[in-house]
């Protein structure tokens, strides 16, 4: 866990918003494709982009930053990429903060 990269990723309001929305995808996003209506793979970048009202390139860069920090995972299915929180990594981060800060 690279703490510096994680805290850099968390230093942006929109990236924090993305993490928050991915915590409860059924609350923030419309149903996915018929085969993934329960958000099993995550949320496609298009839905995240629509919700935020930002360009696809900006949203993709934010997602890449969160992924490099290890806070989200990406799953490719056909032409779509789905993103979801890495709950185990977020829990480890919480433990690290409690123990070290």
Domains of the chain by start residue, with CATH: 3-30+38-95 (1.10.10.10)
Contact assessment for residue 64 and residue 56, using Cβ atoms and an 8 Å cutoff: no
Residues forming a β-bridge with 74? 83
Tell me the whole-structure pTM to 2 decimals: 0.88
pLDDT tens figures, 64-87: 999 999 999 999 988 889 999 999
Asked whether the predicted pLDDT for residue 48 surpasses 60, the reply is yes
**23: nearest Cα among 86, 101, 80, 70:** 86
Q: Looking at residues 40-63, what average pLDDT do you find? A: 94
Contact assessment for residue 88 and residue 49, using Cβ atoms and an 8 Å cutoff: no
What's the rounded Cα separation, in Å, for the pair 29 and 89?
Answer: 23
Name residue, tokens 């990594």: 89
């Amino acid at each position: 866990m690279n703490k510096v990269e994680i805290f850099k990723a968390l230093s942006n309001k929109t990236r924090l918003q993305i993490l928050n929305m991915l915590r409860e995808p059924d609350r923030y996003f419309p149903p996915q494709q018929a085969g993934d209506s329960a958000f099993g793979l995550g949320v496609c970048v298009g839905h995240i982009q629509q919700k935020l009202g930002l360009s696809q390139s900006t949203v993709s860069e934010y997602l890449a930053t969160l992924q490099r920090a290890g806070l989200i995972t990406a799953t490719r299915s056909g032409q779509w990429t789905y993103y979801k929180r890495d709950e185990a990594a977020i829990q480890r981060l919480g433990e690290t903060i409690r123990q070290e800060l």
